[in-house]
Amino acid sequence: MPDPDLRRPNFYASCGLDRAHDRRGDPAWLAERLADPSTLLVPVWRQRNLFLQVEAPRARFLRSDEAGHLIEQAAGLALLGLHEETTYIALDLTPLAAPEPGPSLTEDSAFQDIRAVGPLLAHWEGALLAYARGMMYWHSRHRFCGLCGHPTESLEAGHLRRCRNPDCRSSHFPRTDPAVIMLVHDGERCLMGRQAVWPPGMHSTLAGFVEPGESLEDAVAREVAEEVGLRLDLRRIAYQSSQPWPFPSSLMLGFHARVEPAELRVHPDELESADWFSRAELLNSPENERFRLPRADSIARCLIEDWLAEGR
Ligand SMILES: [Zn+2]
């Protein structure tokens, strides 16, 4: 078992910001921060983040004196938090028209899906940009009240939307949807499957959303039974780590689950194929169209690497 003290956080987690919860209810402070030239705006445009177009991808932040005029045009904003002396604020620039291809705000930058460059980013930048994207997505989906249909307004520095209907006034908070992801193994081999829509050769651990009324362990056992027909003992499902996956709004909760070797019954609606793989096969992954491991920034990859480390 890897020493948990030495385990690095999963990608897109732990960006290191002080989320400044106690400042969210102070609009005057937020206005002052928005006007301060040291504040960095984190632009999001139609779920894409802004990147410097240099050899190694870097986040392109905008200073308020550089992009203050964009605040007026933004669909919304959210205080992300503070790091040392700098305030980070996400800005949804979706209303801006965009020439195709390569919508750009500045000559040195372009909007891109973070997943195209994710593993190449510095850890904290990946986590910060994913957080910004997740917040802006939530705002874009909650402009109207789910109870009465009236428009909502953004409050608490972008961390609350409240219905404007005086007879309703329902509060809506940013949400994240729990999903379980599990490496199933028999001690010697682990189970990996693939979906037909994935890139050629890519295999991964099984995963699925938690349903109401389920514990996380219940969800792990149900998904494994549905996808490959294996019965899990709930007592042999062990939590490993978690990862925000705001693409668009999930929190991945990672588990290892030990089973006795058994025949797989792959459900064709869920998976194209599934099979057992030894540690040696994974360590020698050819990374080609026949077999490749899940992407380096995914918790699936971390679950596999943790399991490989246990066997050393
Ligand atoms: Zn309402």
Q: pLDDT tens for residues 150-197?
A: 999 999 999 999 999 999 999 999 999 999 999 999 999 999 999 999
Q: What's the gap in Å between 138 CA and the centre of ligand 1?
A: 17
Q: What's the gap in Å between 155 CA and the centre of ligand 1?
A: 15
pLDDT in tens, 203-232: 999 999 999 999 999 999 999 999 999 999
pLDDT in tens, 181-194: 999 999 999 999 99
User: For the whole model, what pTM was predicted?
Assistant: 0.92
Q: Kindly report each contact of residues 144-152 with a partner whose C-beta sits within 8 Å and lies 24 or more positions away, as own/partner.
A: 145/170, 145/172, 146/170, 146/172
Q: What's the gap in Å between 308 CA and the centre of ligand 1?
A: 50
As a whole number of angstroms, the distance between CA 233 and CA 186 comes to: 12
Q: Which two tokens stand for residue 261?
A: 């070797």
H-helix or E-strand spanning residue 274: strand 273-278
pLDDT in tens, 32-71: 999 999 999 999 999 999 999 777 889 999 998 887 778 8
Q: Which two tokens stand for residue 25?
A: 């209810």
At 195, phi and psi to the nearest 5? -100, 150
pLDDT in tens, 111-122: 899 999 988 999
Q: What's the gap in Å between 112 CA and the centre of ligand 1?
A: 34
CA 132 to each of CA 89, 125, 245, 256, 310: distance values in angstroms, whole numbers, following the listed order: 8, 10, 12, 30, 35
Q: What's the gap in Å between 102 CA and the centre of ligand 1?
A: 38
Residues contacting residue 114 through CB under 8 Å, at least 6 positions apart: 48, 49, 121, 126, 129, 130, 133, 247
